[in-house]
Chains A and B, each alone.
Chain A
Amino acid sequence: MKDTWKLGEHEFTSRFILGSGKYSLPLIQAAVEDAGAQMVTLALRRAQANTENILDYIPEGVTLLPNTSGARNAEEAVRIARLSRACGCGDFVKVEIMRDTKYLLPDNYETAKATEILAKEGFLVMPYMFPDLNAARDLQNAGAVSVMPLGAPIGSNKGLCSKEFIQILIDEIDLPIIVDAGIGKPSQACEAMEMGAAAVMANTAIATAGDIPAMARAFKQAIEAGRTAYLSGLGRVMEKGASASSPLTGFLEA
């Protein structure tokens, strides 16, 4: 059986969402192909440039995931999303709202407000968020089609710093959980997939690699490996050492 997943009514086989920022436009096509990505994010603020249009470099057939970067509150995110749809970037939107230029941490409260407005307008909203269970439930209730918790601050390449909390979202939220931001290495992407994430999104890790297409390929393989491991049911991992020599329950036999 084919292992697919859905965002709204849209079905995908690839579980790798690729970012398009931070590297030269001509490399985007190669990265998309090597990553086997079916969905690519782009900052609408970049797509607004007159001269070199990032859209010209994204291969046909790939689903665009425009983001609202630059928005500092719900109202600005809504305006950017509407502009994005008006520009022909489709109905998907990744809501990103940051009120902090230092760590670029998402504002969950404003994000829930924007998600609610945009979902009502028919957008397929994929909110970028700090992994908090209550906020994730709010996003689900607001009509999000997925939830995108961060592994670590954007661009930090620090991996799954918020692992335990992402696991809670995977266990409790009935929407695809896509780990976004902070993933620095293929092994970390693999780990997120082993945990049961529906997909992984990465940008900086690939954009800053020595060989961009090769790194895109490495991520693809890692994500597939992690997914296969998850589906196979991970074996038991002994975290607290081997069994004790005199069992605590030995008294029952006496």
Chain B
Amino acid sequence: MITQKTNHMEYQENMEIVDSAIMDQVLSARESFDPEAYTEEDVKRALQKDVLHPEDFAALLSVAASSHLEEMARRAQEETRKHFGNSVAMFTPLYIANYCENYCIYCGFNCHNKIHRAKLNAEEIEREMQAIAATGLEEILLLTGESPKMSDVSYIGEACKIAKKYFKVIGLEVYPMDSKDYAYLHSCGADFVTVFQETYNPDKYKDLHLGGRKRIFPYRLNTQERALKGGIRGVGFAALLGLDDFRRDAFATGMHAYLVQRKYPQGEIAFSCPRLRPIINNEEINPRDVHEPQLLQVICAYRLFMPYAGITISSREGSRFRDQIITIAATKISAGVDVGIGGHSEKEAKGDEQFEIEDGRTVEEIREMIVRQGMQPVMSDYIYV
């Protein structure tokens, strides 16, 4: 049993250890990054470079760069166009279960939060997927709470197999697992794995994650490597901005992705850019220090540092921000989102939501918006091999 007393930096039994120096490199890069230490000149120099190095990325996340948002956005738009043209991929998340064994004090799904728990059976999953496929979407992101007991690997595998009947692209946002499990889920049709590290500050991480397997920091941080070793095509990275110093966490997120790409050059890289949202039964979780300008700065810095990476913009953000960011740097947008359990096919969801969403527009509304913005909605640009 992993509790508040468990050393969060030590692997537990039954956790695969990969031979990797990446965690140490990320943590030491984060440690030495001082967001106040950069000048306007550093920012301008970074903006003029063709290929950015970690120091340039750091400059773009610095306090000094906050007054160069317009130039950053222009450069970001240029790079996005070069690598992605005017394509914007569309997808929707599907929560199939919300049982969770972790105690993360900021999360609505945490095991001590009194919410309605539920898990969809195969028939219900199929019904949900039919309802989603009918909207024209061809990419789905499957999510569970983090309970290997209530939603084990074979349960997720079955969900992937059903998804394969209705969708071209299957992504996973589930609890971290071993590479053999990823290999199995890949054989079931999944090819993309996203895991949020939440914060890359181990001390803060310890205070926020009081129990459950998620408390073990290195096992979570090395998830992307295990997924790639398991044969997964692409991996996603994110810090939940606002949990700790967002500039440092964004820098660590980028460095993590950068180092993984160097070690696994064939792996496709993606970023998500979540900010903390209000949750049920906890009014204090509502930090406001990462406002839209700061979020924009982080997204543009990711884009310029790794111009080929996908960037997903979730429905946690409002329509004003989302409609513009897809023309600047984001390459993927969620639509027709319901973060409860069973809400796509039933009027009344079986289980409660993880957080409140801001942009509740339908698939059709998002599609129309993308076209209106002069962009091109793309349902699938992927082939399972």
Q: Which residues of A contact B (CB under 8 A)?
A: 21-25, 43-46, 48-52, 70-72, 76, 79-80, 83, 98-102, 104, 155-157, 204, 207-208
Shortest distance from the beta carbon of B370 to any chain A beta carbon, whole Å: 10
Supposing A204-B85, A208-B82 touch, asked if A79 and B261 sit within 8 A by C-beta, the answer is no
Contacts of B86 in A (CB 8 A): 22-24, 207
Supposing A45-B382, A49-B379, A102-B308 touch, asked if A155 and B265 sit within 8 A by C-beta, the answer is no
**A70 near B379: Cβ-Cβ < 8 Å:** no
Task: Report how far A102 CA is from B86 CA in the complex, Å.
Answer: 19
Contacts of A72 in B (CB 8 A): 266
Interface centre among B138, B268, B381 (most CB of A within 10 A): B381
**A100 near B266: Cβ-Cβ < 8 Å:** yes
**B266 near A52: Cβ-Cβ < 8 Å:** no
**A80 near B383: Cβ-Cβ < 8 Å:** yes
**B168 near A49: Cβ-Cβ < 8 Å:** yes
**A50 near B261: Cβ-Cβ < 8 Å:** no
Which of A50, A83, A100 is close to B138, meaning CB atoms less than 8 Å apart? A50
Task: Report how far A238 CA is from B310 CA in the complex, Å.
Answer: 48
Say what secondary structure dominates the interface of chain A.
loop
Residue of A nearest to B87 (CB): A22
Task: Report how far A156 CA is from B51 CA in the complex, Å.
Answer: 11
**A208 near B81: Cβ-Cβ < 8 Å:** yes
Residue of B nearest to A208 (CB): B81
Task: Report how far A99 CA is from B338 CA in the complex, Å.
Answer: 36
Of the A-B pairs whose beta carbons lie under 8 Å apart in the complex, a sample of 16, sorted by A's number, is A21-B85, A22-B84, A22-B85, A24-B86, A25-B376, A48-B168, A49-B380, A51-B136, A51-B379, A52-B379, A70-B385, A76-B385, A100-B266, A101-B266, A101-B269, A204-B85
**A48 near B383: Cβ-Cβ < 8 Å:** yes
Shortest distance from the beta carbon of A156 to any chain B beta carbon, whole Å: 7
Residue of A nearest to B258 (CB): A102
**A156 near B82: Cβ-Cβ < 8 Å:** yes
Task: Report how far A99 CA is from B261 CA in the complex, Å.
Answer: 11
Residue of A nearest to B380 (CB): A49
Residue of B nearest to A24 (CB): B376
Contacts of A207 in B (CB 8 A): 85-86
Task: Report how far A49 CA is from B139 CA in the complex, Å.
Answer: 10
Task: Report how far A48 CA is from B378 CA in the complex, Å.
Answer: 11
Say what secondary structure dominates the interface of chain B.
loop
Residue of B nearest to A84 (CB): B383
* Size of B's binding interface in residues, CB under 8 A: 26
Shortest distance from the beta carbon of B165 to any chain A beta carbon, whole Å: 12
Shortest distance from the beta carbon of A113 to any chain B beta carbon, whole Å: 15
Verify if B267 is at the interface (C-beta below 8 Å from A): yes
Task: Report how far A156 CA is from B266 CA in the complex, Å.
Answer: 19
Which of B81, B381, B382, B385 is close to A79, meaning CB atoms less than 8 Å apart? B385
Task: Report how far A70 CA is from B268 CA in the complex, Å.
Answer: 10
**A44 near B266: Cβ-Cβ < 8 Å:** no
Contacts of A48 in B (CB 8 A): 168, 380, 382-383
Given A49-B381, A51-B138, A100-B266, 4 additional A-B pairs, CB 8 A:
A23-B85, A45-B380, A48-B380, A50-B138
Which of A44, A100, A104, A208 is close to B85, meaning CB atoms less than 8 Å apart? A208
Per-position 1/0 for B153-177, Cβ under 8 A of A: 0000000000000001000000000
Residue of A nearest to B376 (CB): A24
Verify if B83 is at the interface (C-beta below 8 Å from A): yes
Contacts of B383 in A (CB 8 A): 44-45, 48, 70, 80, 83
Per-position 1/0 for B367-378, Cβ under 8 A of A: 000000000101
Contacts of B87 in A (CB 8 A): 21-22
Residue of B nearest to A78 (CB): B385
**B381 near A46: Cβ-Cβ < 8 Å:** yes
Shortest distance from the beta carbon of A126 to any chain B beta carbon, whole Å: 19
Contacts of A70 in B (CB 8 A): 382-383, 385
Supposing A49-B379, A70-B383, A102-B265 touch, asked if A157 and B168 sit within 8 A by C-beta, the answer is no
Contacts of B306 in A (CB 8 A): 102
Shortest distance from the beta carbon of A42 to any chain B beta carbon, whole Å: 11
Supposing A50-B138, A70-B385, A80-B383 touch, asked if A100 and B265 sit within 8 A by C-beta, the answer is yes
Supposing A51-B138, A51-B379 touch, asked if A101 and B265 sit within 8 A by C-beta, the answer is yes
Task: Report how far A48 CA is from B381 CA in the complex, Å.
Answer: 8
Residue of B nearest to A25 (CB): B376
Shortest distance from the beta carbon of A101 to any chain B beta carbon, whole Å: 5
Supposing A52-B379, A70-B382, A72-B266 touch, asked if A101 and B308 sit within 8 A by C-beta, the answer is yes
The 9 closest A-B pairs by CB, nearest first: A22-B85, A45-B383, A76-B385, A100-B265, A24-B376, A49-B380, A99-B266, A155-B82, A207-B85
Residue of B nearest to A26 (CB): B376
Task: Report how far A79 CA is from B384 CA in the complex, Å.
Answer: 10
Considering only residues 283-342 of chain B, those with a C-beta below 8 Å from chain A are 306, 308
Task: Report how far A44 CA is from B83 CA in the complex, Å.
Answer: 18
**A157 near B268: Cβ-Cβ < 8 Å:** no
Contacts of A156 in B (CB 8 A): 82
